[in-house]
Amino acid sequence: MGRRTFKKIGLASTVLATALGANSQMQAQSKTQYPSMAALNEYLMPDRNAEIALARSAAPDSISRDAKILVLGPHGYETAVEGKNGFVCVVERGWMGPFEGEFSVFWNPKIRGPVCFNPPAARSILPLTYKRTEMVLAGQSKTQIIDGIKTFIKQELPPLEPGAMSYMMSKEQYLTDDGEHHNWVAHLMIYTPLMDGAVWGADLSNSPVMLNPQFSGAPEPIDVFMVRAGWWSDGTADPVRMK
């Protein structure tokens, strides 16, 4: 990508959508441990109510209690709760992270990334979650999924809306097998067209802004800038320091 990313990162948001907080040794182990898709039931949560609660935990209750809630079923995401405020909360799986590379946890069935999209992101970013998930559940390979996303971007994906962002503030998130950092930090994600991270001061010393490698043009033409929230969605402090 030619851009410096932060040292410890996993899933974004997004999808995750990316493996947050794993060190190099754990990342290498993950790539060896999860080289292909596991059995479908390993990605599903048997307790529907638990998945609803986990999805809601992505954002403060003042936002998520009136949000639309999605749960993952054998054929894709389904609406579990109709919303009132235009936000959509969902628990993303590892395939919403980078396809390859240092931060990939693509096939890890344990990944659970609760994220709550605001209305602009629900209209212009969430369709990528639907599409990647659709192709994964159809048994397609990474190469097929990348090709399918490229076609989807050209033919069906709505333009990225200004103000598109999401909350990823769940204390219960599981973004990497690194036990010390599996829930990394509570953060917000802002979606932009591809740009130089220096425009945001991303990944500079003591900057609270980081450039997430979730999409970055591989193949989605979207950057995801992350800003630490400082507390979890339940209001408790998040003591983890940025590196």
Give the residue extent of every domain in the chain.
Answer: 13-228
Q: pLDDT band for position 27 (50/70/90)?
A: very low
Burial of 35 (0-12, 13-18, 19+ CB in 10 A): exposed
Q: pLDDT band for position 100 (50/70/90)?
A: confident
Using the predicted structure, report yes or no on whether residue 3 has a pLDDT greater than 90: no
Taking the CA atoms of 97, 228, 170 and 177 in sequence, report the sign of the dihedral they define. Answer: positive
Question: What does the block give as tokens for 160?
Answer: 């990225």
Q: How far apart are CA 20 and CA 11, in angstroms?
A: 5
Residue 4 or 110, more confident: 110
Using the predicted structure, report yes or no on whether residue 13 has a pLDDT greater than 80: no
Q: How far apart are CA 140 and CA 118, in angstroms?
A: 29
Helix (H, G, I), strand (E, B) or coil at 197: helix
In degrees and rounded to multiples of 5, residue 116 shows phi and psi of -125, 115
Using the predicted structure, report yes or no on whether residue 17 has a pLDDT greater than 60: no
Model pLDDT, residue 242 = 47
Using the predicted structure, report yes or no on whether residue 196 has a pLDDT greater than 70: yes
Range 64-82 average pLDDT:
97
- The mean predicted confidence, pLDDT, of the chain is 86
Q: What is the pTM of this model?
A: 0.85
Range 185-210 average pLDDT:
94
Cβ-proximal residues to 112 (8 Å cutoff; 6+ apart), any chain: 45, 54, 91, 92, 93, 172, 173, 174
Helix (H, G, I), strand (E, B) or coil at 227: strand
Q: How far apart are the first and last CA of the chain?
A: 21
Distances (CA, A) of 37 to 33, 41, 135, 173, 188: 11, 11, 12, 21, 29
CA angle 51, 52, 55 (to 5 degrees): 85
Model pLDDT, residue 218 = 86
Taking the CA atoms of 209, 57, 88 and 51 in sequence, report the sign of the dihedral they define. Answer: positive
Residue 105 or 80, more confident: 80
Q: pLDDT band for position 160 (50/70/90)?
A: very high
Range 37-41 average pLDDT:
96
Least confident stretch, 67-71, 101-105, 127-131, 214-218: 101-105
* Contact by Cβ (8 Å): 216, 226: no
Q: Which of 9-13, 26-30, 54-58 has the highest mean pLDDT?
A: 54-58
Q: pLDDT band for position 92 (50/70/90)?
A: very high
Q: Among 218, 169, 209, 170, which Cα is nearest to 190's?
A: 209
Using the predicted structure, report yes or no on whether residue 148 has a pLDDT greater than 70: yes
Using the predicted structure, report yes or no on whether residue 18 has a pLDDT greater than 60: no
Question: What does the block give as tokens for 104?
Answer: 């990939």
